[in-house]
C-alpha cells in the first residue's frame, strides 16, 4: 500500500537517499523510496566482482571529492574515507601522459623542458587566437585555455567520442571541469576533501537508508504505481525530467555508456593505475578503468585483475541516461520543462531533484549538497511550519 507514508521519493541515488535520511532522522516522518533498478544507490552503486572480490563501480568510476565542509561532514556520518587521490593518464599515439594538462605533460608533448614561466608563455602564445572570456562553447573555451595543438591531441578526439556532438554545440562549462596547471601537480581534482569510501559505495549508501522510518522498494517503476499513490502525497522525483512529463516538450538528449568488463586471469596489473584515457579518435572506447588500483590498501589477489572499457553513445529509448548533453536545442526544451515542473510542484506537491531530475551535470557532492538545501528550504518548512512545498523561488534553482 502507498497510504502510510509522509513522503515518496522516486530514485535511490545520493539525492533521494539524502532527502530520505534527513526526513526520517530530523523530522521523524515515514519515507517510501521507489527504485526501478534491482538495487539501491543509483549510479554510485558498486559490487564485488565475484571471481576476484575486486570492488567494481557498476556505472563507471566514481571519485568522491568536495570543498564543501558541510557535505564532507555529512558524508562522514555514514562512511570513513581512504586517502585515495585521483590521477588520470592520457594515451595519445604511442605515449602516455600524466593528465590533466600540467608541466610534465607540456614538456613531454613538446619534447623539451620548460620552466613554469616558459610554459605559460608558450601556451599563451598558442592560445592567443581566442580570449577565454569571449569563448562561447567547448571548442573555443578549450583552445583559449590550452591552445590548438594540445586541444587537438587531448580534447578534440576524446570529446568527439564522449559526446558525438560538434564541440561548438557543447557548453563551455564541460571543459572547465579540467584544470590546467603550470606545476607538476597532476591531481585530477582541486578540492579540499577527497577519498573513497573505506568499505565501498554500496555500504555507504545502504547505511544512509538504514532507518526504521525508511522503506526502500526496488524493482518498482514509479510510473507503474503512480495511480496507487494518494493524490497530493509529497513526492521528490529524481528520475529523468522529460520522462516525468511523457516527453511532452520533446525528448532531451542524453548520453549513455556501455561498459565492457573483463577479468584477466593471467595478469595482476594491466595498466599500473586506475584510469587511462584513450584520446585518439580511432580507438573506439574513451577510457579503461582498472578497479584494483582504487584500493591499494585492500588485500586483493595479485594474479588477477578487472578492467572495464567505457564506450559512449547517444541514449536511445530504453537506455540508461547518464549525461545531459545540453545543446542549445535542449536548453530551449529545458525552459519549458522547468515551467511544467514549477506548476507540478505547486499543484501536485512533486519536487524535482538530482542529476536526472534537473538535467544538470551534478557530481555526487553536488547532488548531496543540493538535496541538503532542498531539505532545509522546502521540505523541513513544509512539515514543520505548514509552508507550501513550492516555496518562493523555482524548484530547480
Ligand atoms: P542517480 O544516482 O542517477 O539516481 C537516480 C535513481 O533514480 C536511479 O537509481 C534510477 O534507477 C532511479 N529512477 C529513475 N527513474 C525512475 C522511475 N521512474 N522509478 C523508479 N526509480 C527511478 N560523481 C562524482 O562525484 N565523481 C565521479 O567520479 C563521478 N563519476 C560519474 C561517472 C558516470 C559514468 C556517471 C554517470 C556519473 C558520475 N558521477 C560522478 C555523478 C554521480 O553518479 C551523480 O552525482 C549521482 O549519482 C547523482 O545522484 P542522483 O541521486 O541525482 O542520481
Ligand atoms: N576531456 C577531454 N579529454 C580528456 C578528458 C576529458 O577532452 O582526456 C573533456 C571531455 O569533453 C569531457 C570533459 O573534459 O567530457 C570532462 O571530463 P571529465 O573527466 O570530468 O568527465 P567525466 O569523468 O564526467 O566523464
What pLDDT score was predicted for residue 254?
Answer: 94
Tell me how far apart the alpha carbons of residues 166 and 342 are, in angstroms, rounded to a whole number: 32
What pLDDT score was predicted for residue 392?
Answer: 61
Distance between Cα 51 and ligand 2 center (Å): 31
How far CA 165 is from CA of 23, 256, 325, in Å, comes to: 40, 13, 8
**Is residue 155 lining ligand 2, measured as CB closer than 6 Å?**
yes
Per-residue pLDDT 10s for the chain (397 aa) are 899 999 999 999 999 999 999 999 999 999 999 999 999 999 999 999 999 999 999 999 999 999 999 999 999 999 999 999 999 999 999 999 999 999 999 999 999 999 999 999 999 999 988 888 899 999 999 999 999 999 999 999 999 999 888 888 888 888 887 888 999 999 999 999 999 999 999 999 999 999 999 999 999 999 999 999 999 999 999 999 999 999 999 999 999 999 999 999 999 999 999 999 999 999 999 999 999 999 999 999 999 999 999 999 999 989 999 999 888 899 999 999 999 999 999 999 999 999 999 999 899 999 999 999 999 999 999 999 999 999 765 444 4
In our burial notation (b when 16+ CB lie closer than 10 A, e otherwise), range 260-273 reads eeeeeeeeeebbeb
What pLDDT score was predicted for residue 178?
Answer: 80
Tell me how far apart the alpha carbons of residues 219 and 203 are, in angstroms, rounded to a whole number: 20
Query: What is the ipTM, given to two decimal places?
Result: 0.97
Tell me how far apart the alpha carbons of residues 119 and 17 are, in angstroms, rounded to a whole number: 46
**Which residues lie with the beta carbon below 6 Å from any ligand 1 atom?**
10-16, 34-37, 42-44, 59-64, 221-223, 238-239, 257, 322, 354-356, 362-365, 367
What pLDDT score was predicted for residue 1?
Answer: 84
The 8-class DSSP code of residue 76 comes to T
Amino acid at each position: 500500500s502507498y497510504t502510510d507514508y509522509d513522503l515518496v521519493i522516486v530514485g535511490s541515488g545520493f539525492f533521494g537517499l539524502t532527502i530520505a535520511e534527513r526526513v526520517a532522522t530530523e523530522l521523524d516522518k515515514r519515507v517510501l523510496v521507489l527504485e526501478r533498478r534491482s538495487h539501491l544507490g543509483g549510479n554510485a552503486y558498486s559490487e564485488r566482482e565475484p571471481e576476484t572480490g575486486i570492488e567494481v563501480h557498476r556505472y563507471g568510476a566514481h571519485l568522491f571529492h568536495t570543498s564543501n565542509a558541510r557535505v564532507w561532514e555529512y558524508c562522514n556520518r555514514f562512511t570513513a574515507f581512504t586517502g585515495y587521490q585521483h590521477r588520470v593518464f592520457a594515451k595519445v599515439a604511442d605515449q602516455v601522459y600524466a593528465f590533466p594538462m600540467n608541466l610534465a605533460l607540456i614538456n613531454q608533448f613538446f619534447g623539451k623542458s620548460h620552466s613554469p614561466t616558459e610554459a605559460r608563455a608558450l601556451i599563451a602564445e598558442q592560445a592567443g587566437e581566442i580570449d577565454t572570456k569571449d569563448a562561447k562553447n567547448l571548442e573555443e573555451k578549450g583552445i583559449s585555455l590550452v591552445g590548438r595543438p594540445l586541444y587537438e591531441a587531448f580534447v578534440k578526439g576524446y570529446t568527439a567520442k564522449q559526446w558525438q556532438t560538434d564541440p561548438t554545440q557543447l557548453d563551455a562549462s564541460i571543459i572547465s571541469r579540467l584544470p590546467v596547471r603550470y606545476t607538476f601537480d597532476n591531481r585530477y581534482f582541486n578540492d579540499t576533501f577527497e577519498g573513497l569510501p573505506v568499505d565501498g559505495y554500496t555500504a555507504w549508501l545502504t547505511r544512509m537508508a538504514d532507518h526504521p522510518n525508511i522503506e526502500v522498494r526496488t524493482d518498482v517503476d514509479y510510473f507503474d504505481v503512480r495511480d496507487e499513490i494518494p493524490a497530493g502525497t509529497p513526492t521528490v522525483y529524481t528520475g529523468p525530467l522529460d520522462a516525468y512529463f511523457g516527453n511532452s516538450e520533446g525528448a532531451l538528449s542524453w548520453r549513455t555508456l556501455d561498459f565492457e568488463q573483463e577479468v584477466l586471469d593471467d595478469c595482476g596489473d594491466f595498466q599500473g593505475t586506475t584510469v587511462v584515457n584513450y584520446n585518439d579518435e580511432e580507438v573506439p572506447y574513451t577510457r579503461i578503468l582498472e578497479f584494483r588500483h582504487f584500493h591499494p590498501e585492500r588485500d586483493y589477489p595479485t594474479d588477477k585483475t578487472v578492467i572495464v572499457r567505457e564506450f559512449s553513445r547517444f541514449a536511445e529509448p530504453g537506455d540508461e541516461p547518464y549525461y545531459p548533453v545540453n545543446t542549445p536545442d535542449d536548453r530551449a526544451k529545458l525552459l519549458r520543462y522547468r515551467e511544467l515542473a514549477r506548476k507540478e510542484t505547486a499543484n501536485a506537491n512533486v519536487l524535482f531533484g538530482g542529476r536526472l531530475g534537473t538535467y544538470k551535470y551534478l557530481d555526487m557532492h553536488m547532488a548531496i549538497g543540493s538535496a541538503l538545501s532542498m531539505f532545509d528550504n522546502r521540505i523541513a518548512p513544509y512539515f514543520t511550519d505548514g509552508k507550501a512545498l513550492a516555496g518562493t523561488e523555482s524548484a530547480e534553482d
